[in-house]
Amino acid sequence: MSDNALTMEISSEWGGAEIAVLKVSGFLDFSGIAMLSRFFDKIAAGNWSYIVVDLAELEAICSAALGEFMGYRKRFVERGGSLVFAGLSGNIRSKLTLLGANKIFSFYQDVRSAINAYKWDYKKQSKSVAISFPAHLALVPPVRQFASRLVRQKGYSVKDAFRVETIVDEVCNNAVEHGIDEPGSAVDVRIAVDKEKIDITVSNKSAPDKVAVLRELTKPQAQGSNHVGTNDKRGRGLALIRMLSNDMDVNITEHGTTVHVTKLREE
């Protein structure tokens, strides 16, 4: 058998009863369409609705095969799913783009990315990143810029990203400033993003002598007022976070402080 012979293989072990991966290798020319059709009949007989076509080992594809994929895609869209391409080489990607396939199909770097996109779009799964950094103000700008890039990358607007960046900046600055001042003390930030909201959780160890002051600053009557005196040089952080977010919760104990902020997608 030639190295370029067309082979196909279905796998469904990617987590999710509705997901199937069809790996197509070799040359997919006009003579391979019958084989493609047989495999799609098998897939259609199953309960799969989201099909990832893994083209990482595809050598060439004819335009007629692309037309077949368009027909199959329609079938899976009607089932509430889709058909997407993953792992395309530069050559295959260029050819499909020239044929206009990028306007119909989504292209992903690899199968994992395609399945992650499915879980994000259809299952509303969140993505979370946790960062732990030493309590030092110099390290806050990289953290807030990371938060901004993360939410932009997940499709949020520049405005939302800027607001998230401001929230992260304020909460982390507070954590550094009011946290315990000892070598090795760290600030822990967790950012969870889903299609509708961003949850930000920042934890740090509190200095025991500051616990009472922190509680005073964050008690309900203080939270109810967004007013900061015109001569006050400090203290705008919490008011700003409340203004930019949809929910904020502060938990202060002798062991540490945890601030949880929720920001809903605006645009």
Partner 1 sequence: MDLTFPYTISVRLPSDLEIIPSIRKFVSEVLQVSGFSAKFAFRSEIIVDAICNNAITHGSSGGVDGEVELSCVIHGDRLEVVVRDNGGSSADIERLKEAVRRTRLGLPLPDYDSGGMGLEIVKLLSETIDINVDENNVTSIHVVRRREDV
Residues of the shown chain interacting with partner 1 in the complex, contacts defined by CB under 8 A = 14-15, 56, 109-110, 112-113, 115-116, 119, 127-134, 136, 138-139, 141-143, 145-146, 149-150, 153, 183
| Closest CA relative to residue 187, chosen from 150, 136, 253 | 136
The nearer residue to partner 1, 95 or 152, going by C-beta atoms, is 152
CB 248 within 8 A of CB 261: yes
Tell the residue number behind the tokens 């067309």, with chain if given.
6
The nearer residue to partner 1, 36 or 51, going by C-beta atoms, is 51
Q: How far is the CB of 109 from partner 1 (least distance, A)?
A: 5
Q: How far is the CB of 53 from partner 1 (least distance, A)?
A: 17
Instruction: Please report the sign of the dihedral spanned by the C-alpha atoms of residue 6, residue 8, residue 14, residue 17.
Output: positive
Q: How far is the CB of 218 from partner 1 (least distance, A)?
A: 26
The nearer residue to partner 1, 145 or 262, going by C-beta atoms, is 145
The nearer residue to partner 1, 68 or 110, going by C-beta atoms, is 110
Q: How far is the CB of 230 from partner 1 (least distance, A)?
A: 30
| Rounded-to-integer distance, Cα 145 and Cα 166, Å | 9
CB 31 within 8 A of CB 62: no
Pairing mode, strands 82-86 and 50-54: parallel
Q: How far is the CB of 49 from partner 1 (least distance, A)?
A: 17
CB 50 within 8 A of CB 43: no
The nearer residue to partner 1, 9 or 247, going by C-beta atoms, is 9
